Amino acid sequence: MKNLYNIPALIFILFISFSVNSQQDIVEQLNKIAVINQKVMVPMRDGIRLATDIYRPKTDKKVPIIFSRTPYNFNSWGDGKEKNGIYKRAYEAVKRGYAYVVQNERGRYFSEGEWDILGVPLTDGYDAFSWISTQQWSNGRIGTIGCSSTAEWQMAVAALDHPSHAAMVPQGFGAGVGRVGEYFEQGNWYRGGVEQLLFPSWLYGVEHDKFKPRIPSGATQEDLIRISRFYDLAPENPKVDWSEAFNHLPIQDLLKNVNGKKEIYDKMIRRKPNDPDWYTGGLYHDDMEFGVPSFWFVSWYDIATSPNIALFNHVRINAKDLGVRDNQYLVIAPTLHCGYTRASENTIVGERSVGDARLNYDEQIYSWFDLMLKNIDNDFKEKTSRVQYYTMGSNKWQNSEQWPPENIEMTNFYLTSNGSANTLNGDGKLTTLKRKVKNNTDSFLYDPMNPVQSVGGGVCCMGNALKGGSFDQQEIELRKDVLVYSTDPLKKGFEVTGFINSTIYLSSDVKDTDITVKLIDVHPDGRAFNIDETIQRVRYREGYDKEVFMEKGKVYKVNMTPMSTSNYFKKGHQIRIEISSSNFPRFARNLNTGGNNYDETKSVIANNKIHYSKKHPSSITLPIVIN
């Protein structure tokens, strides 16, 4: 893709660092060891054919397959980066004795049919497995791999339990997770019932127009190879200033306003969090079976860290097959979306240094595939902990046999103030002593036309509107509509590792509003780095299958969608919580009217109050590691 929004294309299966000298001709090297068969049109059960490139070792022996299925462009006849990228991935697999197969989802580039998010119908994935596993060069064992949209289709297909789908390496896979436990993200579309605004900009960059040029159905492989040398079918979209475009109302017209392709967005923006359509597509939900051993990769600053970890736990506990339950492994890196291999001796995530976060990803992934696809009795299980996670602050990799680690103590920190927690200069406090919580409230005015601006966080694909990662939040904390609660400087450091729960007691003079919570690590010099964030639309406080609006002045208990982290708060640092009602453009603004929100242009200013008392103990619960 040749436009501003090519982040998804760049993150397409970034799972290896290449051993071939950069000065060598990778194509020449690959041709020495591989049989290359490009633009193979693999038939689906309805006759639609999907464009597939195959790279396999020059051997008469049957080999296992590493399979990547993607909506992104992998035309090897593109510019140097595209060409070398696909060939290098193939080279690394082939030299290790694997066939490397990459396929476009239906409706993408040279594949026939019409595209929809997550590569539906699910039968396409199943049919691709059937075709690949029966080829004369295949040993019948397939491992899937990929990051972002190259990973997200894998979970729902894993529920179909194809006999050849022997292993998975899903990375940054949150947009494939629908409902798991208390998380109803519906493929990252929601967090706490609030729309995540990454999708308009992502769809603008990847969705092909319904009037796109099309290869005639039934084109021969010879013709497709010849044509692909001249046309990659990748549109070059006009650039958009998303820092301005996200301000447009109603949000149902965001793509229309920038002349984008709006067909998919039009139907999805109208879906509520528990709409039946979420359960008919390509998402994985926790009432589905799961039948594939998996090596999961998650990031602390990704779109869906908590639900991703929750899915790992769900499979570990609930998969019917003991062998599947026992073959689930997890890595949590301190990086951005799909940024695993970008860790360095001094890994910077946003503005925050988290130290040397490198890990031997290549070695572990291929050891996993050797075990699962080749049945090699190697030392993967002896050398690989169930969970490998990076603790920021202490800046080290740690290991555990479960998530969270068993040596944690859930500790309540109560919010309190003298009635003026507004801004970092206010009197908001966090205390572990419930008796010190005063019967009080803090109030702020939330104006949707002047929302609290997002600064960093777990984001992806938002163009120039928002950068992901950890940034100093002090400027935001000077706003009157941001309540700030901090501990005293810590007398000794301690580690917080696990899921983070928060309960906020709220009253308002509007029918509906949002509550945001942000966890902050405050340095002695005042720098305040964001760790994680969450949000909740209050109308969904009693569940996502119903909307319950507020009555003026009545106090409501709001349980926030849990956050997660592993962070060491050093001696002299402070733990801080920010509370407000907006985090924009990370999340869509609540216009406070109680209406649909997606089709509205006018808003109401909300006077929101946070309550603290024995009856209304607003609090955050941190998983503190006990040594």
DSSP state string for 362-387: HHHHHHHHHHHHS----SHHHHS-SE
Give the end of a domain, one of 347, 371, 400. Answer: 400
Residues 365 and 304 placed together within one structural domain of the fold? yes
Q: Is residue 187 left, alpha or beta, with left meaning phi > 0 and alpha meaning psi from -120 to 50?
A: left
Alpha carbons 419 and 225: distance in angstroms, whole number = 70
What digits encode the pLDDT tens for the residues 7-45?
333 333 333 333 444 435 888 999 999 999 999 999 999
Residues 252 and 396 placed together within one structural domain of the fold? yes
Is the residue at 445 inside a domain?
Answer: yes
Dig out the tokens for 241 from the structure.
């200033």
What digits encode the pLDDT tens for the residues 320-352?
999 999 999 999 999 999 999 889 999 999 999
pLDDT confidence bin for 263, thresholds 50/70/90:
confident
Average pLDDT of span 430-440:
89
pLDDT confidence bin for 154, thresholds 50/70/90:
very high
Helix (H) / strand (E) element for 316: namely helix 305-318
Q: Quick check: 68 and 19 in contact, CB under 8 A?
A: no
Question: Which pLDDT belongs to residue 85?
Answer: 78
Average pLDDT of span 128-140:
98
Question: Which pLDDT belongs to residue 14?
Answer: 36
Number of domains the chain contains: 2
Dig out the tokens for 174 from the structure.
């949150």
Dig out the tokens for 297 from the structure.
């990769």
Is the residue at 574 inside a domain?
Answer: yes
Question: Which pLDDT belongs to residue 79?
Answer: 54
Residues 68 and 27 placed together within one structural domain of the fold? yes
Q: Quick check: 458 and 480 in contact, CB under 8 A?
A: no
Question: Which pLDDT belongs to residue 75?
Answer: 84
Alpha carbons 525 and 283: distance in angstroms, whole number = 45
pLDDT at 115 over 60: yes
Strand partners, 352: 349
What digits encode the pLDDT tens for the residues 573-591?
999 999 999 999 999 999 9
Give the end of a domain, one of 400, 427, 459. Answer: 400
Dig out the tokens for 574 from the structure.
């402070």
Question: Which pLDDT belongs to residue 83?
Answer: 55
Question: Which pLDDT belongs to residue 7?
Answer: 36
Alpha carbons 56 and 66: distance in angstroms, whole number = 10
Residues 558 and 615 placed together within one structural domain of the fold? yes
What digits encode the pLDDT tens for the residues 501-534?
999 999 999 999 999 999 999 999 999 999 999 9
pLDDT at 366 over 90: yes
Alpha carbons 45 and 434: distance in angstroms, whole number = 62
Residues 370 and 414 placed together within one structural domain of the fold? no
Residues 83 and 194 placed together within one structural domain of the fold? yes
Is the residue at 2 inside a domain?
Answer: no
Rg (CA), the chain: 25
What percentage of the chain reaches a pLDDT higher than 70?
Answer: 95
More confident site: 627 or 102: 102
Question: Which pLDDT belongs to residue 580?
Answer: 98
Q: Quick check: 426 and 410 in contact, CB under 8 A?
A: no
Residues 344 and 249 placed together within one structural domain of the fold? yes
Average pLDDT of span 362-377:
97
CATH number, position 555: 2.60.120.260
Residues 244 and 350 placed together within one structural domain of the fold? yes
Residue 113's domain spans which residues? 7-400
What percentage of the chain reaches a pLDDT higher than 90?
Answer: 86
As a whole number, the mean pLDDT across the chain is 93
Dig out the tokens for 300 from the structure.
């602390």
Dig out the tokens for 50 from the structure.
């999907």
**Listed residue (36, 264, 86, 290) closest to 170, CA to CA:** 290
Alpha carbons 387 and 347: distance in angstroms, whole number = 21
Average pLDDT of span 439-454:
97
First to last CA, the chain: 49
CATH number, position 91: 3.40.50.1820
pLDDT at 551 over 50: yes
